[in-house]
Chains A and B, each alone.
Chain A
Amino acid sequence: MNFAQFMPFRNMRSRLHLAIKRGRLAVLDIGSSKITCLVLKLDPARLAEAGRNDHLGTSLFGAIEVVGGSTVQSRGVRRGEIVDMDEVCRSIRLALLNSEKMAAPKVGRVDQVIVSFSGGKPQSFSTTAEVETETGQVTERDISNVLGACPPPPVGEARQILHAQPVELSVDHQTGITDPRGMTGHKLTVAMHVLTVDARPLSNLMECIRQCDLDLAGVVAAPYASGLSALVEDEQRTGAVCIDMGGGSTSFSVFLRDHLICVEQIRYGGDHVTNDIAAGLLMRSAAAERIKTFYGGVISTGADDRDLIDAPRIGEEESPNRRQISRGMLIGVIRPRVEETFRLVRQRLVELGITEMPGCSIVLTGAASQMPGVDEMATRIMGRRPRIGRPIRIAGLPQSLAGPDFSTVVGLATYALRPHDELWDFAAPRPLSARGRAAEMFRWLKTSW
């Protein structure tokens, strides 16, 4: 793969390091229905110490504290993609200012921000490469070489790589190696997960962040972030699917052996359910959203036919003889769309062969997973009982931001703490020129003594 194309990502990484050094960072989840911002206070010393001692990062979470957070309605975003840049910028500014105001006693203003990207038709590829080690012992140069030797996936026109993570390094067919440096072996093999998205919405997002005078310290695919916070570590290791049921779209990420191996998106979400209610019952969207939130469900019971709900038609919101419908009727409108969504998810999972994966648990998260009966429906369709995944607790997280609908933004915070190694965290492979040799010798001297 060509390392030169990842220069923007390298810049983001350096900004992230700068933010960690300064001890303050904002994470921003730009979703279709809400924009959530958290201001984090980081402890660089503890972070560095934990990074040395603890490879898995379980002790990391004391190094981070949420000092400000706010969530605002998202305007100008549809299906995770920006359709009105000005509105989105205003919403981002509002969320950031509110969070900064809340964080003002503890940290100053934040400049670096990690954002999530939930649109752009994410597509996962895997690519593998194998090289001979130069010295019979794996060095950093060998790792760079093998990463460079990975054939670029068929990215397609107007698409861009968002994540490229080496998920499996093996030396002489020994798998499960977390750090092969210094190991003896002749063949170094890498399997890499490459996530591509549409380049245009991504650059729109970056432009929005730039217009808000913020430095982009990372762009993370939203389902990946949700998985990072909604899945516990054991699930990430043994294999799990995190289904993030958002407003504009439903997406899922698959984790195995601590690594993200697949991201998919289905373009149905909670907003579609609202639209179904509004169109099917001839209601305003706001009223439809309201009755969905308060009374919605997917599994109807006998009692639901007797529960009457105010469901005013358009124009009769204020009239005394508003229409009333039974809850069962509402469920009857909601159910097909949710069922369709789950069927599509299941179809994708089957296509990917993930249903064959042993011990693969399913975790539902996102705002739409709070609807009663969703887990029951998922059990019926997927054949596995899912768990409703709430984000992991990090210090200072307000209770109002601790529900399943905030797992993406919390996942961004954990990503900021210990990002998985991406391709651009490795040095680019360099030919061993005379100057390169000298530099290599110098580095060897430096590392040895």
Chain B
Amino acid sequence: MREIVPRIAPDEVRPAFNPKPGPEARPKAPPEVRPKARKSPGPSKLTYRLSRAWAKPIVRNAALVYLPLVALAIAGWRVAADDGWRGMIEARFVSVVEQIAARPEFAVRGVSVFGGSDQLQADVRRALDIRPGMSSLKLDVEELRHRAEALGAVEKATVQFDPQGTLRITVVERIAVVLFRRADEVLVMLDKGGVEIGPAGRRADHPELPVILGAGAPDHVGEVIALLGGAPGIMPRLRAFVRVGERRWNLELDRGMTIMLPQTGAVEALSRIMALHYGEELLDRDIVVIDMRLPGRPTLRMKPEAAETYQIRRAVAALGGEDT
């Protein structure tokens, strides 16, 4: 007897309705998108809670003030504590500053010096050592002024940086009125205040200036000028003013003549001598020393042979004789 059971492999058994369609099944239509019910325009719960929390002063302050401050403090501390960071920031900062300083807007266009002789202006330029093109941000006009005034020949200097980029330096030059031979035999120029201007070189280069000598002489240049002003005629014969004992002047003239002036009334004493000179050619006589130190008692010291001649003449005159 044959089996009538249908020979179907178990894997071929399929239910009448297959809930799991195969790949060949038609793609399902997308689910119908129903428009969402329109919500009221009110804020969502989260928005509401956030905005109400924001309305609390403590929350707002914390978020706007305290939290950023704390974060800033922590970040600053971290950066400051880390050498690498700090070095980098410093290098960056310096480079930025350099870049800004190097911009052509800040460059020095030129240097102009006003006042004083050409020589002095050249000296000032050399002393300040500013080349056009340097950054003006690095200039310190106060320091430049000090440097200019450090020059002996400069009495006063003003340094200005004008908006056009020019450095304007105005100097007032010191004028040499006397030469001073220092103790080390170096001849220097002094202005009327006795301030040293600079080396004078040789005496012959400055024939118009008197020479002064002696300790304390530079402090009394004014007296020298006054003396010369009172007796301009003495200048061709003058060799030097010598300060004696830091209190009075000797005038050394040529031919070995010395005029000793008193401590006070020196100008009058010299005028008196000059008057004598104009009247009686005092200075042309054979005199070694004219001593005016005691005002009431001017004294002349003659050379020995002159004294001898004088004695002879007096004797001859006394005898009533004639000169031989």
A→B interface (CB under 8 Å): 72-73, 75-76, 87, 89-94, 97, 100, 104, 108-109, 211-213
Contacts and interface: CB of A to CB of B under 8 A. Distances in A.
A76 B45 CA distance: 17
B52 interface: yes
A87 B52 CA distance: 19
B39 interface: yes
Contact of B55 (A76, A91, A93, A104): A104
22 contacts: A73-B40, A75-B40, A76-B40, A87-B40, A89-B45, A90-B40, A90-B43, A90-B44, A91-B40, A91-B42, A92-B42, A93-B43, A93-B48, A94-B43, A97-B51, A97-B52, A100-B52, A104-B55, A108-B57, A109-B52, A109-B55, A212-B48
B166 to A, nearest CB: 57
**Interface centre among B43, B51, B55, B57, by most A CB within 10 Å?**
B55
B48 A109 contact: no
Contacts of A93: 42-43, 45, 48
A97 B57 CA distance: 16
A90 B56 CA distance: 21
Contact of B48 (A72, A73, A97, A108): A97
State the 8 A-B residue pairs at the shortest beta-carbon distance, nearest first.
Answer: A90-B42, A109-B55, A94-B42, A90-B40, A93-B48, A75-B40, A93-B42, A87-B40
Contacts of A89: 42, 45
A100 B39 CA distance: 22
Interface of B: 39-45, 48-49, 51-52, 55-57
Given A212-B48, A213-B49, A94 B55 contact: no
Contacts of B43: 90, 93-94, 97
A100 B48 contact: no
A87 B39 contact: yes
A28 to B, nearest CB: 13
Contacts of B48: 93, 97, 212-213
A109 to B, nearest CB: 4
A76 B43 CA distance: 15
Contact of A109 (B39, B40, B44, B56): B56
B177 to A, nearest CB: 81
Nearest to A76: B40
Contacts of B39: 87, 90
A123 to B, nearest CB: 31
A211 B49 CA distance: 11
A108 B56 contact: yes
Nearest to A75: B40
Given A93-B42, A109-B56, 12 more contacts: A87-B39, A87-B40, A89-B42, A90-B40, A90-B41, A90-B43, A91-B40, A97-B43, A100-B55, A108-B57, A213-B49, A213-B52
Contacts of B49: 213
Given A212-B48, A213-B49, A94 B56 contact: no
